[in-house]
Amino acid sequence: MGSKIIIQNAQLAVPNDPVIPVIMGDGIGPDVMQAMRLTLDAAVAQAFGGQKKIEWLEVLAGAAAFAKTQEWLPRETLDAIKEHIVAIKGPLTTPIGGGIRSLNVTIRQELDLYACVRPVRYFEGVVSPVKRPQDIDLIIFRENTEDVYSGIEWKAGTPEADKVIEFLQKELHVNIRANSGIGIKPISAFGTKRLVKKAIAYAIQNHKPSVTLMHKGNIMKFTEGSFKEWGYQAAQEYFPQETITEQEVADNGGKIPDGKIVIKDRLADSLFQQVLLRPTEYSVIATPNLNGDYISDACAAQVGGLGLAPGANISDHVAVFEATHGTAPKYADKNMANPGSVILSGVMLLDYLGWQSAGQLITDALAKTIQQKIVTYDLERQMSGATKVGTREFAEAIVKNLAC
């Protein structure tokens, strides 16, 4: 039956048999999620000698949920995730027409999963468009609940849009063209500081040298510019002994005191260039929502694409780990898709539970499988001399390499 994860003294208390809700997802979701479960179950059994086991609890969202309940995201699913604290999901389709605009965004907002966390690293043997993909080793903390993703917008020509335009023109003397679509970009001190606090706490725990605040504050001065200012304030308020600003380093003759994490900021367009030209200078990036969506996919491209890019959406405790790619419906039920993204998201889940040894087994076995050139079609077509295998067979190869 399994036991529930609970919160004790503001920390997860994880039993040996935690119940983990799992959303199998749409399109290729069932294929890659079955591969993930196979891999995680084998790694946990090996790492802990059979003393620990995940009890998977399937819950519904997406097309499967709509077919059974006429709801894209049943309340019971959200309640199950809240109750069990940690969950994992496959890719979900976006409903066409009215109602929910994005199931992924809705889950994040309903559960207040304010940090989208996406590590990016290179696996040797994967074909990359850059010369030194191994230089990329960073983790992105993307604010998940604010910015333009808040969904506060009105279609051009609607009474609501016209009313907002009229107010802005008459009351605030803003020049806006007629028949414009209107969107609002909220960024708050509260949302920014808790995101940056989580990013810095991660850097401290994992001995990372810096946290970079990514923003476009030279143009959007009171939203993204404020994100930058509030980010520096968060460092000073929560971690005054552990952090130092880049300016303070310069004032100190360029010397970074032992144990200090450097807090710096970069304009978004500049950072896109620098992760290509000087990626080793960046280890943790904290950024508003839209920037985070762009930079995480761009960095993933440098190491071979979204097929090996994991992700998680995390609040103070509740966490939903996920495949970062789409549903790819034309490959559904064909045993073709690369399950690497959700397998590595499963590694993040294991780390979150405190079961790092099982996660490390998977990471090492995945790296070895790729080096053996046993890969799914998306990687095989780019690699000379590779052996193409299906989704399940790729997972089975990883499991075989767990013991090696």
Report the alpha-carbon distance of residue 105 to residue 149 in Å, rounded: 8
Q: Is 297 annotated as a binding residue?
A: no
Domain boundaries 1-116+310-404, corresponding CATH code? 3.40.718.10
Of all residues in the chain, the percent with pLDDT exceeding 90 is 91
Q: Is 201 annotated as a binding residue?
A: no
265, 293, 351, 378: which is the annotated catalytic residue?
A: 293
Mean pLDDT across the chain, nearest whole number? 95
Q: What is the pLDDT of residue 93?
A: 87
pLDDT at 260 over 70: yes
The verdict on whether 26 is a catalytic residue reads no
Among 248-252, 265-269, 358-362, where is mean pLDDT lowest? 248-252
Residues 201-210 pLDDT 10s: 999 999 999 9
pLDDT at 58 over 70: yes
Cβ–Cβ contacts within 10 Å for residue 221, how many? Answer: 12
Q: Is 102 annotated as a binding residue?
A: yes
Same fold, 1-116+310-404 and 129-144+186-302: yes
The verdict on whether 269 is a catalytic residue reads yes
Q: Is 118 annotated as a binding residue?
A: yes
79, 112, 269, 316: which is the annotated catalytic residue?
A: 269
The verdict on whether 293 is a catalytic residue reads yes
With vertex at residue 360, the alpha carbon angle to CA 28 and CA 351, rounded to the nearest 5 degrees, is: 75
How many CA atoms within 13 Å lie on the side-chain side of 241? Answer: 0
The verdict on whether 228 is a catalytic residue reads no
31, 89, 122, 149: which is the annotated catalytic residue?
A: 149
Residue ranges of domains in the chain: 1-116+310-404, 129-144+186-302, 148-184
Q: What is the pTM of this model?
A: 0.94
Model confidence at 402, pLDDT cuts 50, 70, 90, reads: very high
Residues 24-42 pLDDT 10s: 999 999 999 999 999 999 9
Q: Is 42 annotated as a binding residue?
A: no
CATH 3.40.50.620, domain 129-144+186-302, yes or no: no
pLDDT at 97 over 80: no
Cβ–Cβ contacts within 10 Å for residue 229, how many? Answer: 17
Q: What is the pLDDT of residue 1?
A: 86
